[in-house]
Amino acid sequence: MAHSLTLKVSCFLIMAGSIATASVMAADALMPAMAMEHHHDHAAAMDHSQHAAMMDHSQHAAMMAKPSPFQISQHQYTLPELTLRDQAGRAVPMSELQGTSGPLAVNFIFTTCTTICPVMTATFSQMIRELGPDAGRIDLVSITIDPEHDTPTILAKYAERFEAPPNWRFLTGSPGDVERVLRAFDAWSGSITSHRPITLVRRQDDANWVRLEGLGSAS
């Protein structure tokens, strides 16, 4: 049963480019208010040039303009022994992700992103609807790559915008801890504006991770 559901999830993610690209227009409309909130939070600590650099999504825009096919591979990842926090502030040990007994899907986002992150988040949201009664049998995890801004409270607002159910957790932590987790998943890019669109799917704790890298095409 777990294998069948994981296969269904993987197939959906591969074919979801057109769905997610269309739905990003709606998701993108939600971003200005969150970007403004980000500006108010950091105005005192960041000059204009730093803020402009942080919000430069030109590399993301290029990905959206010319989406590449998924690159699919299988891997084993070993997560560090540390704890992140979800959108409710609850502690989530990485050993819990490492040892999940059922299907698990993981992606990497940040809430002020207005290009590929809404696409990826909308894809998870659409997948939940498409799975119907089976949706509760898979755990979804979105890990922020901007932990300095994305507090549990901000992630909770973001999760609410995408109608995330209880089995979809958004994780954050200290910058050092988040970097260690990203490196363990080979998802660390060094810059939030150049991160790669990566989704990982695993059937159960002793199975390989299926790594889907790239964005689908809307055509």
Chunked mean pLDDT (size 10), the chain, 219 residues = 54 47 38 42 40 44 51 93 98 92 93 92 92 90 98 98 96 98 95 88 88 66
Name 171's Cβ contacts closer than 8 Å, sequence gap at least 6.
84, 85, 86, 92, 141, 142, 143, 144, 155
- Asked whether residue 219 is assigned to any structural domain, the reply reads no
What CATH number did the domain enclosing 110 receive? 3.40.30.10
Q: What local confidence, expressed as pLDDT, does residue 191 receive?
A: 87
Q: What local confidence, expressed as pLDDT, does residue 39 receive?
A: 45
- Asked whether residue 118 is assigned to any structural domain, the reply reads yes
- Asked whether residue 65 is assigned to any structural domain, the reply reads yes
The structural domain count of the chain equals: 1
HEC states along 170-205?
A: EEECCHHHHHHHHHHCCCCCCCHHHCCCEEEEECCC
H or E element at residue 71: strand 71-75
The C-alpha atoms of residue 82 and residue 96 are separated, in whole angstroms, by 10
Give this prediction's pTM. 0.73
| 54 three-state secondary structure | helix
Name 39's Cβ contacts closer than 8 Å, sequence gap at least 6.
51
- Residue 194's domain comprises 2-213
Phi, psi of 155 (to 5 degrees): -65, -35
- Asked whether residue 218 is assigned to any structural domain, the reply reads no
Q: What local confidence, expressed as pLDDT, does residue 206 receive?
A: 83
- Asked whether residue 202 is assigned to any structural domain, the reply reads yes
| 83 three-state secondary structure | strand
